[in-house]
Amino acid sequence: MDTGIRITDSHCHLDFPDFDDDRADVLQRAHDAGVQRMVTICTKLRQEPQVRAIAEAHSGVFYAAGTHPMSAATEPMVTVDELVKLADHPKFVGIGESGLDYHYTAETAEVQRDSLRVHIAAARETGLPLIIHARDADEDMARILSEEYRQGGAYTCVMHCFSSGPDLAHAALDLGFYLSMSGIATFPKSQALRDIFSAAPVDRILVETDAPYLAPPPHRGRRNEPAYTLHTARKGAEMFGMDWPDFAAQTEANFERLFSKAVL
């Protein structure tokens, strides 16, 4: 039954081949679960046309594009002009994902940092939120985000699928940025991460799937999809000691404040 409660999956990858066989069904299940909006993320600019087409075909789907840090050394270096031009599209709502990943690709750290600064400049110029991927790079990430904000000028940002430590969380929140809660926050061994989220202002929290990855229980170990945002959001309500409808409404207000272009 439709309860009237609506939420947004602020980060997923609907263009990935994991969804090629049943993309329409995935979107219908999301709608049925109350997930009224999805932001699908392009991680390599050469794939932007395919991602854009998905957003154009579905009223509740918006998109963002950038070069994922793990691809920064193998893809052409993106330019500010390229990203700014994409922002002309009415359904293009964010810059990224960009960031730093020293877990798998530490050897490309320098080019990742260069790419990150390009994305920050584009976010600043367009006024669209920067979407950050951070893994095993907390110190450099906090330093670059802070330097760019305080020396280069203000911009908005969400720390997507946040699973870093408290120092990076504090640095991001001090800049007015947002933390996005994925299925990781629901895992039994993630109490330290839940503590970080619970200590954050609730008006700075988003929810997401990062589908097809990181499915929350009871779907853990299987393909994730936007409908499962519901499980993460309900866990978030529990973490913040809020009634489910109130937490859902709060995360919707947060999303609309940050992603102000993603209007239904």
4 pLDDT band, cuts 50/70/90, is confident
- Tell me, yes or no, whether 175 lies in a domain: yes
Q: Which amino acid is at 93?
A: V
Q: Which residues 6+ apart lie within 8 Å of 153 measured at CB?
A: 124
pLDDT of residue 114: 98
**Pairing assessment for the beta strands 61-65 and 35-42 based on DSSP bridges:** parallel
pLDDT at 125 over 90: yes
- Tell me, yes or no, whether 35 lies in a domain: yes
Which DSSP symbol is given to 216? P
Task: Give the CA-trace dihedral at 47, 49, 51, 54, to 10 degrees.
Answer: -150
**What's the total number of domains in the chain?**
1
- Tell me, yes or no, whether 123 lies in a domain: yes
Structure tokens at 174: 């001090």
With beta carbons less than 8 A apart as the criterion, state whether 264 and 59 touch. yes
Per the structure, the complete domain to which residue 218 belongs is given by: 7-258
Straight-line distance from the first to the last Cα atom of the chain, in angstroms, rounded to the nearest whole number? 22
Structure tokens at 185: 């926050």
- Tell me, yes or no, whether 56 lies in a domain: yes
H or E element: which one contains 27? helix 23-33
pLDDT of 193-209, one tens digit each? Answer: 999 999 999 999 999 99
What is the pTM for the complete model shown? Answer: 0.97
- Tell me, yes or no, whether 234 lies in a domain: yes
Q: Which amino acid is at 60?
A: G
- Tell me, yes or no, whether 25 lies in a domain: yes
- Tell me, yes or no, whether 173 lies in a domain: yes
Structure tokens at 10: 């602020």
Q: What is the C-alpha to C-alpha distance for residues 215 and 5, in angstroms, rounded to an integer?
A: 21
pLDDT at 1 over 50: no
Structure tokens at 21: 């066989």
- Tell me, yes or no, whether 249 lies in a domain: yes
- Helices (DSSP H) in 73-128: which residue ranges? 80-86, 109-126
252 pLDDT band, cuts 50/70/90, is very high
CATH code at 221? 3.20.20.140
- Over residues 11-19, the mean pLDDT reads 97
Helix (H/G/I), strand (E/B), else coil: 104: coil
pLDDT at 2 over 70: no
